[in-house]
A = this chain, B = another copy of it.
Amino acid sequence: MNIHERLGLPQVETDLRQLETLLTESVVFGDPYLDNVTTHLINAGGKRLRPLLAVASATGGARAATRDDLLGGVALELMHLASLYHDDVMDEAEVRRNVDSVNARYGNLIAIVAGDYLMARSAAIAADLGTEIAGLLARTLAWLTRGQVAEVRTSFDRDRQIDDYYLAIEGKTASLMAASCRVGAITAQRPATEVEALDEFGRCFGMVYQLRDDILDMVATDGQLGKPAGQDLAEGVYTLPAIHAMNDSVVGPQLREMLGKPLNDEEREQARQLVVSTDGIAATYAAARTFVAQGHEAMAIVADEPLRVGFSRLIEALLEGLPEA
């Protein structure tokens, strides 16, 4: 999916090209080694989804982004990148965005401390934008870490509940997207009702985004994913499709028997097929649809029509190509 095409706000695409320069400048310090480490994932590219949400929420595409609008997006992208640096250490990931992960290239020690540095830069930019944004980003980081802890704690837990799952994805994915929209609404000095509406849209967008990811992990081809399907099952992250499948009266017992421990390739594929044979995917799709509806509802009060239409198209686009049952 081409997100800019779906958003349909060409000025936002122009703004985001400008943001690339600011993003690099914000972490470069003048020490070639450290600069290589901190720009490693910036240079690897990425969708810049969080800056896109921030800038679109600020301008609605109706005007060029101000420097503050762009810096809001930079602070959010840096927090996201910092969490990737730390996640990849935790997951012992070797590849990220088609390049070596930071830990694979520079070692765990440097990856941890470079992630801390990116957080520091994110916080410094947020502080320059005022106490409201500084406080918001700090609270978002707290939610993000709580979400990650919730996921780590329930790994390999066959009794993971749907509520545990929602708590984890709201923290680890939706909180940062909600904050992205909110930051843009704040830098643009939108009225309080629109700030709340955009925050809620961002949260819904993040929930759908993660539900989509968790469906794709079960149904996409390895080529589409860039990793084997069913990876979450193998690594003990039991997402909504798997939770539903474990409760299925027919295949649930067999699936539970297999899970609870790391899986080899053959076991992973077998477990994945068991999940796909249940209504777990359909139930997850239905859950995503309810968040899409909530997202539309939140946007309904936003007066700015191109933004309302653009964001509504964007959240709908997340469900495209997904199996509904």
Contact = CB atoms under 8 A, between A and B. Distances in A.
Given A86-B113, A113-B86, A138 B149 contact: no
A116 interface: yes
Interface in A131-157: 131, 134-135, 137-139, 141-142, 144-146, 148-149, 152-153
Interface string A61-92: 00000000000000000000001001001100
A130 B83 CA distance: 25
A110 B149 contact: yes
Most buried by B among A110, A120, A131, A153: A120
Interface in A110-139: 110, 112-114, 116-117, 119-121, 123-124, 126-128, 130-131, 134-135, 137-139
Given A120-B138, A127-B131, A138-B123, A145 B89 contact: no
A192 interface: no
Contacts of A137: 123
Interface of A is mostly: helix
B119 A127 contact: no
A109 interface: yes
Contact of A131 (B31, B89, B128, B153): B128
Contacts of A134: 123, 126-127, 131, 134
Contact of A135 (B113, B127, B149, B153): B127
Most buried by B among A89, A110, A114, A124: A124
Interface residues of A, number: 41
A70 to B, nearest CB: 18
A33 B145 contact: no
A109 B90 contact: yes
A126 to B, nearest CB: 7
Contacts of A119: 116, 119, 141
Interface of A: 29, 31, 33-34, 37, 83, 86, 89-90, 108-110, 112-114, 116-117, 119-121, 123-124, 126-128, 130-131, 134-135, 137-139, 141-142, 144-146, 148-149, 152-153
The 7 closest A-B pairs by CB, nearest first: A124-B138, A120-B141, A123-B138, A127-B134, A127-B135, A120-B142, A117-B145
Given A31-B146, A117-B146, A123-B138, 14 more contacts: A33-B149, A37-B149, A89-B108, A110-B152, A116-B119, A116-B144, A116-B148, A120-B141, A120-B144, A123-B134, A123-B137, A123-B141, A124-B139, A126-B127
